[in-house]
Amino acid sequence: MDKHPEHPESGTDTEVLDVALIGGGIMSATLGAMIAALQPEWSMTLLERLDRVAGESSDPWNNAGTGHSGLCELNYMPDPGDPDKAAEIAAMFAVSRQFWAGLADRGDLTGTGFLTATPHMDVVFGERDVAYLRRRFETLHALPAFAAMEYSEDHATIAGWAPLVMAGRDPDQPVAATRYATGTDVDFGALTGQLVEAMTNAGTQLRLGHEVTRLRRADDGIWTVTGRDRNTKRRFAIRARFVFVGAGGHALGLLQKSRIPEVRGYGVFPVGAQFLRTDNPEVVARHEAKVYSQAALGAPPMSVPHLDKRNVDGRSSLLFGPYATFSTRLLKHGRLTDLFTTLRLTNIVVLVAAGLQNLPLARYLITELLSTRRRKFAQLQRFYPEADPADWYLVQAGQRAQLVTPDLDRVGALRMGTELVTGADGTIAGLLGASPGASTAPAIMADLLDRCFPQHRSRWEPTLRQLVPGHAVGSNSHSAGPDVPAAIGK
């Protein structure tokens, strides 16, 4: 019997939905929009614990808004001669832009204002890092996806690209920069809202203020999703043939409650972030880029500093950071008990082993937590020597749950990316981890469709090829680079 029939049951209190999506962020919205386009007659419900979608990591002020495409993220390429990770991220972001363009062509996106052309840059200081960046550029520039990247060690040229970075700088200081003029700033909150609107227009039911607390699969293979309506305080329960858990930091806990063995031994390590922000129009007007650099010696990859132009709700600002924070909450609007609810006998040893292997991360977090505002501002002045403290204020960004997984060699390993976890029978899936998930959501969700709905592969493929030309169902191939169709990014 097809576990995803063409004509779902409906009209009674015992209705069985085809799809239940948990979490109102970019991941659930992307998957929901794909399914709505591929299988519009399926019944689908989106459950979000807050009173709005995109209230956590997808909120534009809870992330840096970088369209991650391997152009400036130095932590994707610690070896300047190995471009594989950067090229993979570039290909996946190309899939994202093709998907958004495909939805825009169909009329499923109401606008493209969520995407703003913003150059992506790297700027490094000192002979060691200059040599690294020069080698990185030589490696990437040989690939078609990065052929438009520029490189310079000339102070005047770099000042033309990023005036704030070079103003007041020692003219004898070794500096190098790369620039890719057609990078992007992405308002993932606005994008999520548009994707959810496309889903609801196609018939998806949106339930806000609904917090899922339990997942159970019955003998007939149907999942029961139960929880609490935070507004009425009443309990609710829905039944669904397929469940996707896109609940950010809460995803692991819910997958643990589903009792699927695929997450046995998995753990999470919560890390938050603060940024310095300015809305001073005179300062903002002088910086038209996202400028990344090397993390401080001994700091973890997640601490890569960047000075970003942000475009949100028609207003421009600059953000600098991140400055790490720590809380046992797994969501910004979570509870202090969140981390402890994910602890199991099967993951305690894994977490301890990963922690012992990442003592520099612990030292970095302690240093960051003890940092004064003056010290944080000094880090900004390394990027922007003439920065005025009166123009900048600290803001709290989102909370990320870094994934820790069992490892045959190391017992436990801290993972810096995202991981799609699917149940053996394909009736449940969830996304764990953090950046660059949002930027690569369409490629990840196309992979989910292939893994969880193989019986529909041949019938869906023509439509999916129209929506995502660079990704075919049933393959891991992606298009070659970050270039964008004309329909998106204007």
SS3 letters across 86-116: HHHHHHHHHHHHHHHHHHHHHCCCCCCCCEE
What pLDDT digit, counting tens, does each position of 184-220 carry?
999 999 999 999 999 999 999 999 999 999 999 999 9
- Overall average pLDDT of the 233-254 stretch: 97
**CA–CA gap between residue 67 and residue 58 (Å, rounded):** 13
Q: Which region, left, alpha or beta, applies to residue 411 given φ > 0 means left and ψ of -120 to 50 means alpha?
A: left
- Residue 351 inside a domain? The answer is yes
* Distance (Å) of CA 207 to CA 52, 62, 108, 201, 248: 10, 22, 20, 14, 17
- Residue 415 inside a domain? The answer is yes
- Overall average pLDDT of the 8-29 stretch: 79
What pLDDT digit, counting tens, does each position of 367-414 carry?
888 889 999 999 999 999 999 999 999 999 999 999 999 999 999 999
Q: Does residue 314 carry a pLDDT above 50?
A: yes
Read off the amino acid at residue 408: L
> How many CB atoms lie under 10 A from the CB of residue 40?
10
**CA–CA gap between residue 106 and residue 111 (Å, rounded):** 12
- Overall average pLDDT of the 303-323 stretch: 92
Share of the chain above pLDDT 70, in %: 91
Whole-number pLDDT of residue 267: 97
DSSP state, 67? -
Cβ atoms 229, 238 nearer than 8 A:
no
pTM: 0.91
Please count the structural domains in the chain. Answer: 1
> What element of type H or E holds 214?
strand 210-217
What pLDDT digit, counting tens, does each position of 164-175 carry?
999 999 999 999
> What is the distance, to the nearest Å, from the Cα of residue 310 to the centroid of all Cα atoms in its chain?
16
- Residue 217 inside a domain? The answer is yes
Query: Comparing 335 with 475, which gets the higher pLDDT?
Result: 335
Cβ atoms 287, 307 nearer than 8 A:
yes
Whole-number pLDDT of residue 2: 44
Q: What is the mean pLDDT of the chain?
A: 90
Cβ atoms 242, 42 nearer than 8 A:
no
- Domain limits at 418? 16-467
Share of the chain above pLDDT 90, in %: 79
- Residue 477 inside a domain? The answer is no
> How many CB atoms lie under 10 A from the CB of residue 459?
12
Closest CA to 208 of 198, 216, 200: 200
Indicate which CATH number applies to the domain containing 172. Answer: 3.50.50.60
**CA–CA gap between residue 146 and residue 470 (Å, rounded):** 17
Closest CA to 45 of 12, 15, 19, 11: 19
**CA–CA gap between residue 404 and residue 412 (Å, rounded):** 7
DSSP state, 66? B
> How many CB atoms lie under 10 A from the CB of residue 194?
22
- Residue 11 inside a domain? The answer is no
Q: Does residue 71 carry a pLDDT above 70?
A: yes
- Residue 148 inside a domain? The answer is yes
DSSP state, 295? P
Cβ atoms 21, 47 nearer than 8 A:
yes
**CA–CA gap between residue 93 and residue 68 (Å, rounded):** 7
- Residue 312 inside a domain? The answer is yes
- Residue 32 inside a domain? The answer is yes
> How many CB atoms lie under 10 A from the CB of residue 65?
25
